[in-house]
Amino acid sequence: MTRPTLPHAHPTAIISAEANLPADVRIGPFAVIEGPITLGPGCVIGPHAHLIGPLTLGANNEIGSSAVIGGAPQHLGYKGEITSVEIGDGNVFREHVTVHRGMPVGAGPGTGVTRIGNRNFFMAASHVAHDCVVGNDVIFANAALIGGHVTVGDRAFISGNSAVHQFCRVGRLAFLSGASASSKDIPPFWVMQDVNYVRGLNLVGMKRAGMPPAERMAVRKAYRTIYMTRPALPLSVALMRIEAELGAFPAIQELVEFIRTSKRGICGAHRLVGTGDDDESVAA
């Protein structure tokens, strides 16, 4: 590969002639920039990082040492088709993070692209599988991973060593506790613990996001209606009650729509489920 002239690239870096790189990009020792790749201004590529195109990154992204962005999907049906990864601005990918490109369109539910938004923080050894969609301001702690086709809403927090099964959805401001796992959808604002259980509400996250107190209280009431009504209500009935009593709040509309459109179902209540009333139910 013919190396473009870049003043801040280490001489040991291998850079494809197909790459479209700004003059201010910083590329560390032994990094590999392979194939058709476009980087925005202000990007930093760490030592031994491997970027594989087709790949587009916006401005001010940081790629840590030995991270691999744009690798082939880990799927037995992948046969070398051209697919891609699209990444926005201001993301941090720390050491050994892996992000895989999409499965080809026509190969089952393949979309052809894995998409990541803006200002996300991926801690060391976290993983984003093929065809995932990650929103903005999401945090993946160390070794957190999401399977193929997972969608993660804005400002969600996926704690260390947590896993989300393929095709699941993680709602906005949801919080997955450490070493948890989910094969079901995790609604917005919920705190998930253990395997497929919810424990309470991400009250701190909602407050930090600027949600008004009245709206936070409405989410608490919705939570109690779903998990704490005795005798328990069928979910469809609980949602109708929530909508009738609290539907004026945008967060409630978001929550009800998320649950109603779930194809995998939502997580059930932990035996130690919090009330949503006070800090004892908060895991964030």
What pLDDT does residue 64 have?
A: 99
- Residue 263 tokens read as 């194809």
Q: What is the chain's alpha carbon radius of gyration, rounded to the nearest angstrom?
A: 21
46, 58, 112, 131: the active-site residue: 131
What pLDDT does residue 284 have?
A: 30
**In terms of domains, do 21 and 100 share one?**
yes
**How do residues 266-280 score in pLDDT, each as one tens digit?**
999 876 555 555 443
Is 277 inside any structural domain? no
Is 257 inside any structural domain? yes
What pLDDT does residue 276 have?
A: 53
**In terms of domains, do 146 and 21 share one?**
yes
Q: Is 234 exposed, middle or buried (0-12, 13-18, 19+ CB in 10 A)?
A: exposed
What pLDDT does residue 159 have?
A: 99
75, 96, 130, 149: the active-site residue: 130
Say whether pLDDT at 1 is over 50.
Answer: no
Domain with 131 in it: what CATH number? 2.160.10.10
Is 148 considered catalytic here? Answer: yes
- List the Cα angle 160/165/169 in 5-degree steps: 90
Domain interval for residue 235: 210-269
46, 148, 205, 274: the active-site residue: 148
What pLDDT does residue 273 have?
A: 54
Say whether pLDDT at 283 is over 50.
Answer: no
Is 58 inside any structural domain? yes
Say whether pLDDT at 281 is over 90.
Answer: no
User: What are the beta bridge partners of residue 122?
Assistant: 93, 140
Is 278 considered catalytic here? Answer: no
Is 13 inside any structural domain? yes
What pLDDT does residue 282 have?
A: 42
What pLDDT does residue 249 have?
A: 99
**How do residues 118-140 score in pLDDT, each as one tens digit?**
999 999 999 999 999 999 999 99
Per-residue exposure over 71-106, b if at least 16 CB sit within 10 Å of its own CB, e if not: eebebeebeebebbbbbbbbbbbbbbbbbbbbbbee
Are 69 and 55 in contact by the 8 Å Cβ rule? The answer is yes
Is 187 inside any structural domain? no
Domain with 257 in it: what CATH number? 1.20.1180.10
**In terms of domains, do 148 and 215 share one?**
no
**In terms of domains, do 16 and 143 share one?**
yes
**In terms of domains, do 16 and 148 share one?**
yes
DSSP secondary structure string for all residues of 228-251: T-SSPPPHHHHHHHHHHHHTTSHH
User: Average pLDDT over the chain, rounded to whole?
Assistant: 94
**How do residues 11-42 score in pLDDT, each as one tens digit?**
999 999 999 999 999 999 999 999 999 999 99
- Hey, how many other C-beta atoms are within 10 angstroms of the C-beta on 237? 12
